[in-house]
Chain A
Amino acid sequence: MALIQNPFDHDLPSADTPRVHVQLDGKWEEVPRGLNVIEVARRFGKLIPHYCYHPKLSIAGNCRMCLFEMGTPKLGPERKPILDGEGRPELQWMPRPQIACATTAFEGLGIRTGSPLVESCQKGVMEFLLANHPLDCPICDQAGECKLQEHAFDYGKGRSRFGEEKVRKPKRVDIGPRILLDDERCILCTRCIRFAREIADDDCLGITERGGYNRLSIYPDKRFTSNYSLNTADICPVGALTTKDFRFRMRVWFLKETESICVDCATGCNVTIGSREGFVHRLTPRVNEAVNSHWMCDQGRLGFHPIHSKHRVLEPARRAETGLFPGEWPFVLRQVAESLRKQNPSSLALLVSARLTNEELFLVQRLRDLLRGESEIFTEVVPRKGVADGLLRSDDLNPNSQGARILGIGADGEKLPELRKGIEEGKIRALFCLHEDAVGAGVPEEMLERLSLLVWQGILADKTCEKAHWVLPGASFAEKSGSMVNRAGRVQRLQRAIPTPGRAKEDVWILQGLILALGGEDLGQGGPDVFSKMAAATPAFQGLTWAGLGDQGAPLPA
């Protein structure tokens, strides 16, 4: 079950559904009763082309692209099916094509997906859809991932007989803060309308005008402000709905696709990172029925932009009289390790982010063990509270709070007041901030100046970075591989999509360097290596393997 409740799950019949036999293009197959015919075909590697059908939305049946030839068992005199030599029912084929999206599997259903009638229907619908379409693929963002393009290529005639003036409709309609509408490209499949109504619960879209002049419109004086509005751009089969953020940024076929997860909250929506030449251009949701189904929120989707901020820290550095002085990594790591070792463990504090991966947290744990000697080292994470929206967003905005808890780094930031008090009273003399801002966590800026050692590791310069004695530039979520545990206790992988900018390094590499400099053991060079060591050392992860997590993640072992 996904963490979001879908109103429909046409592709996921419950496991106890009785099985029936259907004939798919001449072959008898067994499928769950009531399974949507599009999904029946999909299970056996056949595509019934469609536009308006979406497995998670109500059935509209308006695009007519999924027309197929339907057969039903021939009935004998006693209204019993007539069986052929192999004991299968003989079929009679309906003269009128039926829509696959509104037909569900029953015993003896016959499906023809490529008969002459079906092909003629597909050609006809394609010709109609393209008649008034602007055919502006060269300047359309959807080009390359457009169902109209794909199906025109696969099922269309290749040429148009339309010699009339096309219908003109509004273009560049600003329907929401993050989304734009081009009505001429719209094929009126109503997926966005149904999404807004059934999932986003923001029923503001609809069709106005009539017949060939129909167009998608937003309710007067309303804006499509839903935090899920950009999903409509994903499910829009054409380029009618485009995101303002990605519009005109990059042709999609240039994008390298990396399967990863969103780190904007504890839900851990599965995403595909679209990047090119070291630059992330967009995140799109990736289907995972145990987490986000097909969706993600706009906030998470657009949350990647800071990784390309001009405030990114790009060089390891030491603070000198005149400011930050860049240094070489081996030197910096050695010096930082030395400074940490010199500290009395009881006066050392680690302020760790719950946005780090399990592997990084595991290395922090090892680093702490190396430094602690006899006494405890203060460690805590910084909580981030948001508002759960009942859909996907969690009230915990840290993506790996669970991991931090499991690895004993911290939990809910309950000890944070102690940090401030410790620095104030002079008990804490050294502070290592990992991807966290001590100022933001409640330590006043001037108090940081009392510290004899302040090490900062992170990506964006903040108040703590300005005071830090040592600055270690780390990696953003798109620049590293690792795992996180989402709010439902699912261990999921991040994958590195782009290299770290400048001389910034993956955090695992930095932490490993410090551990080695302190004489600790080599725990591996990347996320996957560290994962196996961590899984072996941590009972909660016992039995998990990096490869075993796969693209869909795995639940924590019970």
Chain B
Amino acid sequence: MAEIGTAKGPAAEHRIILRYADEPDYTTDIDCYLRHGGYEQLRKALSMEPAAIVAEVKASGLRGRGGAGFPTGTKWGFIDHAKNQKPVYLLCNADESEPGTFKDRQIIYKDPHQLLEGMIISSYANRAHLAYIYIRGEMVRGAQILERALAEARAKNFLGENILGSGYDLDMFVFRGAGAYICGEETGLIESLEGKRAYPRIKPPYFPAVLGLYLCPTIVNNVETLCNVKHIVEMGGAAYAKIGTPNNTGTRIWCVSGDVRRPGYFEYDGGAITMGELLYDVCGGIRDGNRLKAVIPGGSSAKVLRAGETYRIRRKNSQGTMEEVEMKLEDLPLDFDTIAASGSMSGSGGIIVMDHTRDMVECLNNLSAFYAHESCGQCTPCREGALWMHKILDRMAEGEGRPEDPQLLLDLAEQIAGRTICAFGEACSWPVESFVAKFREEFEAKAAKEHERLQPAC
């Protein structure tokens, strides 16, 4: 990795979360973690008031790393501890299953105690005495690593009763997921944790901060988000907020997969690197000398961006006033706001790259197969629509397209998005909407094949 960041100028990786993860002698046991300054921030946090930690997190501007980018401090602020009589739960959403995303896995497999420390601090800040790590069922090894880490932390009194003499009690458990993408939707996760089918709950009234796990106030945060809390305690909210750009503070781990020479995960300050720099300089460019065709910037449910597109982005300039600039795909700085302004989202940070050899109908069919399989089937539009869209795309990919198919796909996507219980409706319809809209000619070409086929004689 020596050449990264040296050749054409992108800033070198700024690893905070993954600082030690890939060091050759770094192991997952607690002794190694302690040697690297582990659980020091826990000691510091336990000497602070819970509300002070929440204030630091608010000041840090930390936004959730699971996909929606919701400000973590605001989420924590929803629980009114003065009025609340019920127990508070903290849940770590480690059900990482968005196609193209593999960042949480690195943390869990390589640095589990960092997650634990972040969670213990966050639990303390939210006055939770019971926390769960809901880990994706397929990550069997990850669950074992976490179990061992929990046992080690308990043995050293980082967990359990009267943690480090502070009077604070916390227990934490690993819960292995039920093997469905929808278990990562926070209310689906809660249902699953309660032992039920992971059907997302209707909001209102079931906002987790009010009626979460066992209808008690519940905080659900992503693995990367919780790890960040540790570093916010370490450096202070204001210092953390200086990393990255305003409203996109801290570092983010970008997972690049697809048709690049060196796919992988890379941690950069928010907005510190552009799409082009990441793809061409960091990841070594498109494989086999091919041309870039499209990028999905934030996990498979984000809208696709087409190479050669330009975007009009409104942003604050250095004087603090709003300005509108035109940007090419390659120039988009990687952060929450710019990618949202380009019409997509940075979501979970899973960047999927497609080169010019890719058939967009096949690509979309691949995604839609995933969504048709993963729809929980609770509410009508997504249950029927996701499977319907997949059937159409499957047929088109098989060369059986019909002229009405592209428009039908767009209509169906529109009939799903915004009308479902959870965000899965958007997740399954946005790719369809964007692929068909941006690569309409490819879809029309597949759809127009009908006249070439032999028609029945009658």
Contact residues of A with B, CB < 8 Å? Answer: 59-65, 67, 95-97, 99, 102-103, 120-121, 124-125, 127-129, 131-132, 161-165, 167, 187-188, 206-207, 209-214
Contact = CB atoms under 8 A, between A and B. Distances in A.
Of B376, B381, B383, which is in contact with the most chain A CB atoms at under 10 Å from its CB? B383
26 contacts: A62-B379, A64-B380, A96-B418, A125-B415, A127-B415, A128-B383, A128-B384, A128-B415, A129-B384, A132-B384, A161-B404, A161-B408, A161-B411, A162-B388, A167-B387, A188-B377, A188-B380, A207-B377, A210-B180, A210-B375, A210-B376, A210-B377, A211-B373, A212-B386, A212-B388, A214-B383
A173 B197 CA distance: 22
Interface in B169-202: 180, 197, 202
A66 to B, nearest CB: 11
Contacts of B180: 210
B419 A124 contact: yes
A164 B404 CA distance: 13
Interface in B379-421: 379-381, 383-388, 391-392, 395, 402, 404, 408, 411, 414-416, 418-421
Contacts of A59: 202
B378 interface: yes
A493 to B, nearest CB: 41
Given A95-B418, A207-B377, 20 more contacts: A59-B202, A61-B202, A64-B381, A64-B420, A67-B419, A96-B418, A99-B202, A102-B202, A102-B205, A125-B419, A128-B380, A161-B408, A164-B392, A210-B180, A210-B373, A210-B377, A211-B383, A211-B386, A212-B372, A212-B384
Interface in B328-387: 372-381, 383-387
A61 B420 CA distance: 9
A163 B402 contact: yes
A168 to B, nearest CB: 13
Contacts of A60: 202
Interface string B261-289: 00000000000000000000000000000
Give 5 closest A-B pairs by Cβ, nearest first: A212-B387, A124-B415, A214-B377, A128-B384, A211-B375
B391 A62 contact: no
Interface of B: 180, 197, 202, 204-205, 372-381, 383-388, 391-392, 395, 402, 404, 408, 411, 414-416, 418-421
A128 B381 contact: yes
Given A62-B378, A64-B381, A128-B381, A211 B419 contact: no
Contacts of B408: 161
Contacts of B386: 211-212
A161 B419 CA distance: 20
Of A65, A99, A103, which is in contact with the most chain B CB atoms at under 10 Å from its CB? A99
Of B378, B387, B415, which is in contact with the most chain A CB atoms at under 10 Å from its CB? B378
Given A210-B375, A210-B376, A188 B383 contact: yes
Contacts of B383: 128, 188, 211-212, 214
Nearest to A59: B202
Contacts of B380: 62-65, 125, 128-129, 187-188
A60 B387 CA distance: 22
B425 to A, nearest CB: 9
Nearest to A213: B377
Nearest to A128: B384
A207 B197 contact: yes
Contacts of A129: 380, 384
Given A64-B420, A131-B388, A211 B377 contact: yes
B419 A97 contact: yes
Nearest to A209: B377
Contacts of A161: 404, 408, 411
Nearest to B415: A124
Nearest to A61: B202
Contacts of A99: 202
A363 to B, nearest CB: 57
A134 B408 CA distance: 21
Contacts of A165: 391
A115 to B, nearest CB: 14
Contacts of A132: 384, 387
Of A95, A102, A211, which is in contact with the most chain B CB atoms at under 10 Å from its CB? A211
A99 B374 CA distance: 23
A65 B205 CA distance: 19
Contacts of B384: 128-129, 131-132, 212
A211 B376 contact: yes
A8 to B, nearest CB: 13
A211 B379 contact: no
Nearest to A190: B378
Given A128-B384, A211-B375, A61 B421 contact: yes
Given A102-B204, A212-B386, A64 B375 contact: no
Contacts of B197: 206-207
Given A62-B380, A67-B419, A161-B404, A211 B202 contact: no
Contacts of A103: 204
Contacts of B402: 163
A97 B418 contact: yes
Contacts of B392: 164
B47 to A, nearest CB: 38
Contacts of A188: 377-378, 380, 383
A61 B395 CA distance: 32
B204 to A, nearest CB: 6
Contacts of B375: 210-212
A96 B380 CA distance: 17
A124 B202 contact: no
B388 A164 contact: yes
A187 B379 CA distance: 10
B126 to A, nearest CB: 27
A165 B385 CA distance: 14
A188 B383 CA distance: 10
A320 B381 CA distance: 74
B177 to A, nearest CB: 14
A211 B379 CA distance: 9
A207 to B, nearest CB: 7
Nearest to A121: B419
Nearest to B180: A210
A492 to B, nearest CB: 38
Contacts of A127: 415
Nearest to B378: A62
Contacts of B421: 61-62
Contacts of B395: 164
B364 to A, nearest CB: 16
Nearest to B372: A211
B138 to A, nearest CB: 16
Contacts of B204: 102-103
B307 to A, nearest CB: 31
A64 B372 CA distance: 19
A538 B57 CA distance: 78
Given A125-B381, A188-B383, A64 B419 contact: yes
Nearest to B382: A211
B392 to A, nearest CB: 7
Contacts of A96: 418-419
Contacts of B387: 132, 167, 211-213
Contacts of B372: 211-212
A469 B202 CA distance: 70
A188 B378 CA distance: 8
Nearest to A132: B384
A164 B381 contact: no
A125 B414 CA distance: 11
B388 A211 contact: no
A125 B395 CA distance: 23
A64 B379 contact: yes
